């Protein structure tokens, strides 16, 4: 089974949310939104009604400026907190959508600390959850926990630990395999049991950039609202 989700410890998730308050109030004018469209096929599923071989499509959205959440010589984490930010996946008529928050994990080359043991590659992973953003699904009977898109590339994919702009499709390793995990991942639960599906990404395209210049009054209001959500949702998730 492919490991595709880097779970962030609760204390770092709290720091992520607090960092997002700063980001919301300081997003520079002229920052642009980057949209990555992808598609592929399911490779493994424990979700009823979704089977291996079923086609899926998805979208990952982030800005050209983000909040640094942490890192080392082998990786870095960014947070993005604009309303459109997140990962969304559609399969078999069902949608699994994250919005208002994207955690971006970057690991590069020989110093890769992504836990995959894939040397001489670069990895970008984007994930959304309901702690600092929102998630929704049209799949009835299960709650959506995480939506993830992960992209593996050669050593030219990430030229640095800066936010990828532009996103370099030409240096991705496609399609994804167990050895080259360019994948999509969704986790759901019914309160006691987790249900997941993985998918191999076979095609990636860039949607034209969109200017993103928020009004100061809007971002300050969003920041104050997010602070309340951090206290409530962070506590609930830590109790699960």
The whole-number pLDDT of residue 110 equals 67
Which is nearest to 146 in space by CA: 122, 130, 157, 124?
130
83: closest CA among 231, 236, 232, 219?
219
Model pLDDT, residue 176: 86
pLDDT in tens, the chain (240 residues): 334 444 443 334 444 444 444 444 345 555 799 999 999 999 999 999 999 999 999 999 999 999 999 988 788 999 999 999 999 999 999 999 999 999 999 998 765 555 554 667 899 999 999 888 999 999 999 999 999 999 999 889 998 999 999 999 999 999 988 777 899 999 999 999 999 999 999 999 999 765 555 555 444 444 444 434 434 333 333 334
| Cα–Cα distance, 180 to 153 (Å, whole number) | 9
Tokens 């071989």 label which residue? 53
Tell me whether residue 88 is in a domain: yes
Nearest CA among 117, 126, 118 for reference residue 173: 118
C-alpha dist (Å) from residue 56 to 34, 100, 225: 20, 22, 33
Residue 5 lies in a domain: no
* 1 assigned to some structural domain: no
- On whether residue 2 sits in a domain, the answer given is no
Residue 111 in any domain: the answer is: yes
Domain-located, residue 60? yes
Asked, for residue 4, whether it belongs to a domain, the answer is: no
**Number of domains comprising the chain:** 1
Considering the domain boundaries, does residue 131 fall inside one?
yes
For residue 187, give the nearest of 225, 219, 146, 155 by alpha carbon: 146
Task: State the Cα–Cα distance between residues 165 and 128, nearest whole angstrom.
Answer: 20
Domain range for 214: 10-239
């Amino acid at each position: 089974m492919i490991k595709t989700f880097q779970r962030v410890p609760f204390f770092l998730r709290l720091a992520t949310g607090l960092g997002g308050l700063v980001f919301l109030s300081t997003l520079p004018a002229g920052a642009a939104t980057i949209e990555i469209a992808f598609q592929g096929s399911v490779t493994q599923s424990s979700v009823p009604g979704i089977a291996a071989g079923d086609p899926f499509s998805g979208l990952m959205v982030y800005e050209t400026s983000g909040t640094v959440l942490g890192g080392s010589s082998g990786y870095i984490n960014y947070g993005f907190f604009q309303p459109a930010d997140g990962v969304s996946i559609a399969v078999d008529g069902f949608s699994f959508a994250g919005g208002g928050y994207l955690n971006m994990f970057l690991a590069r080359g020989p110093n890769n600390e992504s836990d995959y043991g894939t040397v001489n590659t670069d990895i970008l992973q984007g994930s959304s959850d309901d702690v600092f953003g929102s998630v929704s699904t049209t799949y009835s009977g299960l709650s959506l926990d995480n939506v993830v898109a992960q992209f593996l590339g050669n050593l030219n994919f990430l030229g640095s630990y800066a936010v990828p702009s532009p996103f370099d499709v030409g240096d991705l390793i496609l399609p994804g395999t167990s050895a080259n995990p360019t994948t999509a991942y969704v986790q759901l639960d019914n309160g006691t049991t987790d249900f997941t599906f993985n998918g191999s990404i076979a095609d990636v395209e860039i949607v034209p950039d969109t200017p993103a210049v928020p009004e100061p009054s809007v971002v300050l209001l969003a920041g104050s609202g997010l602070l309340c959500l951090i206290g409530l949702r962070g506590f609930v998730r830590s109790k699960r």
